[in-house]
Structure 1
Amino acid sequence: MAWDIGSTRNAINPQFRALSWRLLLSYLGVMMAISGTSMIAVYEFFAFSLYQQLDRQLLTLADAATHNFEEIKEHKEASKVSDSLKLDDDEDLDIPWQNIQQPNQGIEWFDANRQLITKAGKVFPPLDLSHYHRTYTVNEKKIRTLTLEINKEPEATQQIMGYVRISESTEPIEMVLKKLRLGMMLGGILVSALTAFGGMWLTKQSLKPIEQSFEKLKQFTADASHELRNPLAGIRACVEVMQSHPERIHTADIDKLKAIASGVNQMTSLVEDLLLLARTDQHSLSITTNWLIIPLHELLEDLVEFLSFQAEQKQIELILDIKTNIKMKGDGNQLWRLFLNLIENAIYYTDTGGKVRVSLEDREKWVWVRIEDTGMGISAEQLPLIFDRLWRADQARTRQEGGSGLGLAIAQTLVQHHQGEITVTSELGKGSCFVVRFPNLPHL
């Protein structure tokens, strides 16, 4: 082979980092929802209370104003003023006059025909006596009004003598609510910051036992895989020795021996895959400055030649499409394992007479390697799961025997170690296309 193999890299395992971010964001989302809902509820209750208090003040003032209706009406008739009678500020009407004179209040008296008799104060909304309570907007300012009917005594007659309307600007309340909103916003920022710090601490504490258990599991997997290699190697050696002397084997035992050899090969492959993943999880394959320059086109050529016999046995056309010579930094052994898994997968799941195409392209900032097949394909609902460890789709991947279900998980891990990306598109019954992208290094 014209390319070099043999370098290692250490990659940061992103599993717990992604999990911690999901937990933290979920916690923050819940806490922000609770905090936001609570703030809105407090604000609405406070605003409701302020407007309720305003309505009570208007009612008190209106009750006092109704007692002066007869006096004001008589005063109007006595003075024979056709339009309206404006009261002097010093005239005693036996009502809380000091409140009426405030610039944000107004009071109006009307006769039974809803004609204005007189008014006092500074705030007067449009004439509309059809509502008991109403809020108007005048010159971008809100005005709250209360209209009361003045009935002739006794009340049983229900004869309307006139109306009194009290108006008051809500600007003071709006100013209070504005300050409340500002305070809540600042408080919300503070609460968010404290919640974020608290969430980070809680997430870290909650993940500690899980991380410890996971580390123990990884160590057990690595140790078990390593320890299983020796007995499996011994079994394989014995089987190979027995197969090398077929004359010593009883005819009835030949098939049994083949089954043992096949089982040992599968177990050995599974152990090697588990050991590779365990070492990867322990960050023993991370990026190093000792990576070598790998002629990727030559690696793919050698790999296609290596697998051509396997493709011929299934009568599958294995096509290599390389448009340019491309080199990249990496670990040759890992890249060989990566594309070996993908191409073997494509051959394995392609029926007799199908095609597998391996292409290499240089696309600006990326190097693209495509492995396309005309095999059974993968259903849309299974696509998000294909890189999970020990995954095999119910319909697409279990009708044939063989494989450990770790090949695609290993491929994804090796791609990530080389700072690349792997994606897949597939249609059930028509085939799949795996695309591996590596950062392009034009100076190589």
Structure 2
Amino acid sequence: MILSKLFMGLGIGLTKTFKNKSNLTSNLLKPWRSPNILSHPLFRTTSLRLLLSYLLAMIVVMGMSSMGVYHFFAYSLYQQLDHQLLTLADAAAHNLLAIQADRTAVHRKIPRILDHDGDLDIPWQDLRLYGQSVEWFNVKKQLLGKAGKKFPPIPLINSFHSWQQNDIRTLTIPVYSSAKNRQILGYVRVSASTLEVENELKRLLIGLGFGGILGMVLIAGTAWWLTSKALQPIEQSFQKLQQFTADASHELRSPLTAIKTTVEVMQSHRERHPSDLKKIAIIAGATRQMTHLVEDLLLLARSDITAVNLPKTAIPIPIDEILFDLIDSLDPQAQAKKIIIEANVNDEIWIKGDAHQIQRLFGNLLENALQYTPEYGLIKVEIIKSDNFVVISIQDTGIGIANEHLPLIFNRFWRADQARSHRQGGSGLGLAIVQAITHTHGGEISVTSKIGVGSCFRVKLPIFE
């Protein structure tokens, strides 16, 4: 008898559903036919993260590449300069004996070959035009002669390696009598200005800078295009999931209503089937749970589309009165668990929104606090006004949430194992609904928690003025 009535109600509900299916589906899917699904905050955030990650990676790669190119060219230019110095030093080494002979002639009062300014009167004088210089030293490191313009202001260092001070690069080589005897006759030190090399490196840096800017512009455009292409399959799947959730929610409401109505009729006529009262109660409880789940799914499906818009039923509502009403309605549950609820909500503050959704938002938070707070615990509800916003905090002394789970608590159907063991029968959509309603009303929600200490949820909403 019971089953026949249940199937009769289910048949009536399905018949009505299929008659109105086309209208329901067409009205429901109108918002989802928008081609720009990237307007959804979820995809905007994901796209931005992917784009920034790609740009950051490319900036690092381009920066390292530019540094490599710069150091390679700097090394090449200085190597070329060192090669020129070595060639100059080899050529100047052949004049060491002539300069020594000139010095000997001076001591013997023989006419010397040095000119009036102390330089050699030989073709080395042209070195001044190229910023180079040559110095000849005897074996005792005494200066014999010089040619050129710029000279290093330090004593002779008989090292074959080139070194640099300020803008002068210097190379010193020893001069031997012959390849066989290897007797040192003296030293030749050659120097050259590095200004030309430094100017070349500066021009290279400017070129790399302009090239990097142009490259980043091109990379940014390419990154945006690749990001949109990469998200297209995810967007399509998300769109189909939204459609399915909304369709399923709408189509389930009618049969659930038929079942609920049938069960209520059977419960109101208990004398006809007293032996089945327990079964009817089980069916009624399951029906209420499924109805609540369907309504939750439908609310979330709608919030996915209108996440940034206030509901059409938005009106100015006093947030303090809503909190007082909720606390009064949940007071019996709190007394049953010997939990104290402290409320500091004396300020009269108005916000604009849907009263039913705001009541559901804070109702879910308060119910969670009661569920997860052990006996003799404490729940604090407080309103804090800050500029054009109001912050409502709900703090408990419950079981707490691990740090690694905090980023996941607003995900749909997610619950930590520890929390699940304390609350059975929930759908796992409560906090997801809280977040969706908060975002719909232009607000923000945050949470801090510690295992064994408790949790604190803070909801920030704009004030209606």
Query: Is 1:127 the equivalent of 2:137?
Result: no
**Cα gap change, 1:233/1:98 in structure 2, threshold over 3 Å: closer, same or farther?**
farther
Distance 1:44 1:81 in 2: 53
Distance 1:262 1:69 in 2: 111
Aligned position for 1:191: 215
Residues 378-435 of structure 1, C-alpha deviation per residue, up to 9 Å, x if partnerless? 1222222211222211223434312111111111121122222212222212222212
Match of 1:388 among 390, 394, 411: 411
Aligned position for 1:146: 171
Distance 1:163 1:130 in 2: 8
Superposition map of 1:75-94 within 5 A: 75-80=102-107, 87-88=114-115, 91-92=121-122
Q: Secondary structure at the match of 1:381?
A: helix
Aligned position for 1:3: none
Indicate if the aligned counterparts of 1:297 and 1:326 stay in contact, CA closer than 8 A: yes
Query: Is 1:104 the equivalent of 2:131?
Result: yes
Offset at 1:22?
Answer: 0.9
**Cα gap change, 1:361/1:49 in structure 2, threshold over 3 Å: closer, same or farther?**
closer
Aligned position for 1:50: 77
Give the residue type in structure 1 aligned to 2:168: I
Indicate if the aligned counterparts of 1:142 and 1:169 stay in contact, CA closer than 8 A: yes
Give the residue type in structure 2 aligned to 1:150: V
Residues 298-336 of structure 1, C-alpha deviation per residue, up to 9 Å, x if partnerless? 111222222223334444333433222111222212111
Query: Is 1:29 the equivalent of 2:56?
Result: yes
Between 1 and 2, higher relative CO (CA 8 Å, sep ≥ 6) is seen in 1
Report the more deviating stretch, 200-209 or 175-184: 200-209
Superposition map of 1:423-434 within 5 A: 423-434=446-457
Offset at 1:54?
Answer: 0.8
Give the residue type in structure 2 aligned to 1:149: P
Give the residue type in structure 1 aligned to 2:142: Q
Aligned position for 2:292: 269
Distance 1:37 1:177 in 2: 17
TM-score, length-scaled by structure 1:
0.88
Offset at 1:227?
Answer: 1.1
Give the residue type in structure 1 aligned to 2:127: I
Residues 195-240 of structure 1, C-alpha deviation per residue, up to 9 Å, x if partnerless? 1122222222322232122111111111111112222222333333
Distance 2:126 2:201 in 1: 22
Give the residue type in structure 1 aligned to 2:174: E
Q: Secondary structure at the match of 2:418?
A: coil
Aligned position for 1:212: 236
Q: Identity of paired residues, percent?
A: 49
In the alignment, structure 2 segments of 5+ residues that lack a partner are 1-30, 32-36
Query: Is 1:348 the equivalent of 2:376?
Result: no
Give the residue type in structure 2 aligned to 1:426: S
Higher helix share: 2
**Cα gap change, 1:414/1:81 in structure 2, threshold over 3 Å: closer, same or farther?**
farther
Q: Secondary structure at the match of 2:392?
A: strand
TM-score, length-scaled by structure 2:
0.84
**Cα gap change, 1:240/1:316 in structure 2, threshold over 3 Å: closer, same or farther?**
farther
Aligned position for 1:6: none
Indicate if the aligned counterparts of 1:346 and 1:356 stay in contact, CA closer than 8 A: yes
Indicate if the aligned counterparts of 1:135 and 1:142 stay in contact, CA closer than 8 A: no
Give the residue type in structure 2 aligned to 1:134: S
**Count of matched residue pairs:** 423
Superposition map of 1:261-300 within 5 A: 261-283=284-306, 286-287=309-310, 291-300=314-323
- RMSD between aligned residues: 2.6
Offset at 1:352?
Answer: 2.8
Offset at 1:131?
Answer: 2.6
